[in-house]
A and B are shown apart, each in its own frame.
Chain A
């Protein structure tokens, strides 16, 4: 308890120091350049008036933008202007769809691979070659075959989410204790009952670990995928704000992406604890 309090205090201290230093460092000196025609200056924006780059936003600017963006996250002003909550929703929908489809394929297939050494031997080379490929490399192929940017993003998520679940499921199934399988055999449990009542619960913790890794990777990849396909999603939002030079908005988006990723991980972590067993 005391340890947690001390950690929390230290965290606040580090945050305060870092943000404070950032605030001071990013506050611009008073503009010194020659005065411009006011109308022209208005057109150029504040940065250009001083003849400088877009300034790095200060923490106070970011807080202000965060308040602005998160106050009404679900507004829709036409196709090109939607709230950050809507964009996150699109990203989550794609991640969960791609992840769900991947689970539907990876877990049963992993089961078969884990149970059959022949199948393992046959499919392992394919898996080992495809697994290290960046999921974004699939994007052009997906766009070419599917001809739909939204579905292509989901496909990319599907491809990147499949490997950890596939490998963990097959490993979990292949390493179920021989003695538990022997128990099932002496009780004349058929293959289906053995799979459902013995192998699945025995391998569930390993499978859930794979699912947890998968969803983490999927959440990493969705941002990049949406930057490519555009239209909607938090990745698109980040890219769009980069084009607008709204750096503060990008920082807000980064924080939000981190928080949602953490929430997804915690969710899967909780599910993993629910199926965990101890000997």
Chain B
């Protein structure tokens, strides 16, 4: 089996002697959007931090594009849950900070122009001069998205990027990210606990059991055709089965499957399911 472009190989995180998660294997191919879904406490954010290089795993490795990930780097951008904007810089300043990190030789004006273009891309051209404190929650996260995209990363990492936003703003930003990621063919990995968000954005959804000793119990392949649209996706054949499958997992199986591995479990060969492709799909009006 060829190694995927991003290959997570048996990573684990222990808290004292108890594993938070262990024996975690999965891959992300170029241009693919993968989401990881699970309850809090299963180490989701830690997994993202390990992918970002901000934390080291207690076991296992991550190989991206043939090279081992050993620390944070500009080829992986993070959209933080708490937006993590620098409050003393304007929206433009925050994005320009990232641009100047990527292109150290660029003169200030060129970096600012580039930052302005990226802000324009997320619809914030008007607010470029404002400080984060003068922006709404949704606008702040737009700046966070712009900052991540500004460095043209090969992998975009998102840690529940919309969970702090109200439902309306969340929907708009999901559309925005969907558009930006599809337009750029961006490879992305996202942590979420929002089923609809995962179905809308991700091509594959990793279902994680509750911690401690959490594992990816199942990989759900999202067979709903791209481009997916928030307005119509819930009427797409298969959507219902897909959504039910994930909700069932989160409500019940994430708990019942937690802890001890079943007989013959192989972390490298997690079962793949395609609930949306099943023939028994009831349509809803």
Contacts and interface: CB of A to CB of B under 8 A. Distances in A.
Contacts of B74: 186-188
A201 to B, nearest CB: 5
Interface string B52-77: 11100000000000000001111011
B143 to A, nearest CB: 12
B98 A185 contact: no
B131 A186 contact: no
Interface in B121-150: 131-133, 147
A177 B85 CA distance: 11
Contacts of B147: 183
A186 B72 contact: yes
B271 interface: no
B101 A180 contact: no
A198 interface: yes
A182 interface: yes
A277 interface: yes
B54 A182 contact: yes
A180 B78 CA distance: 12
B15 interface: no
Contacts of B101: 187-189, 193
Contacts of A179: 80, 82, 84
Contacts of B88: 201-202, 204, 275, 277
A39 interface: no
A279 B86 contact: no
A275 B133 CA distance: 15
A127 B24 CA distance: 48
Interface residues of B, number: 25
A186 B87 contact: no
Nearest to B76: A186
Contacts, number: 61
B249 interface: no
B132 A183 contact: no
A202 B131 CA distance: 14
A197 interface: yes
A278 interface: yes
A180 B76 CA distance: 16
B86 A180 contact: yes
Nearest to A276: B88
Interface in B29-61: 52-54
Contacts of B84: 177, 179-180, 182-183
A278 B97 CA distance: 19
Contacts of B78: 182-183, 186
A176 B87 CA distance: 12
B133 A279 contact: yes
Listed residue (B82, B87, B133) with the most chain A CB atoms within 10 angstroms of its CB: B87
B151 interface: yes
A277 B209 CA distance: 41
Nearest to A197: B97
A277 B131 contact: yes
Contacts of A189: 101
A260 B77 CA distance: 52
A186 B133 contact: no
Contacts of A277: 87-88, 131, 133
Contacts of A197: 97
Contacts of A188: 72-74, 101
Interface of B: 52-54, 71-74, 76-78, 80, 82, 84, 86-88, 97-98, 101-102, 131-133, 147, 151
15 contacts: A180-B86, A182-B52, A183-B147, A186-B52, A187-B74, A187-B97, A187-B98, A188-B72, A193-B101, A202-B88, A275-B88, A277-B133, A278-B87, A278-B131, A279-B132
Given A180-B86, A188-B74, A278-B131, 9 more contacts: A179-B84, A182-B54, A182-B84, A185-B54, A185-B71, A187-B98, A187-B151, A202-B86, A277-B87
